[in-house]
Amino acid sequence: MHETRTTNETLGLGARVKRDKVDKYDYFVSFHRNAHSPEKAQGAEVFTYPTAKAKDLAVQLQNALVRVGFTNRGAKVANYYVLRNTRSPAVLIEAGFIDDTTWI
C-alpha cells in the first residue's frame, strides 16, 4: 500500500496519477467525503471507470459500506480523471456526506 497524502497538503490529480504510473499496484483507491446541502443527502457511493476488475472491487466496497450502516447510493461508472488515467484498476469512494449530521 502506498498513500499519496500523509499530510493535509493537497496533491493535484495529475500528480496522483503520475504516482500510480511509477509503480505497479493492484488497485488505485481514492477516498473522499461527499457534500450537498445540509441534511439533504446521505449515504456512500463508489465510482469506477468501466473495467471488469475495477467494477468488481467497486461493488464489493459498496456492499461493505452498506453493511456498516451507510445508505446505499450504489456502485457507479464515472469518467473522473483519476479513474480513467490510472494504469491500475481504480475506484473512488465517497464515504458519506460531510454535511450529514444524522451520521454523527
Residue found under cell 496522483? 16
Greater confidence, 28 or 8?
A: 28
**What's the pLDDT at 1?**
61
Q: What are the domain boundaries of the chain? A: 35-103
The span from the CA of 58 to the CA of 52, in Å, is 10
* CATH of segment(s) 35-103: 3.40.630.40
- Confidence check: pLDDT of 92 > 70: yes
The span from the CA of 48 to the CA of 27, in Å, is 11
pTM of the model: 0.85
**What's the pLDDT at 76?**
96
- Strand locations in 1-104 (E): 28-34, 44-48, 72-77, 90-97
pLDDT tens, position by position, 34-56: 888 877 888 999 999 988 889 99
- Confidence check: pLDDT of 71 > 80: yes
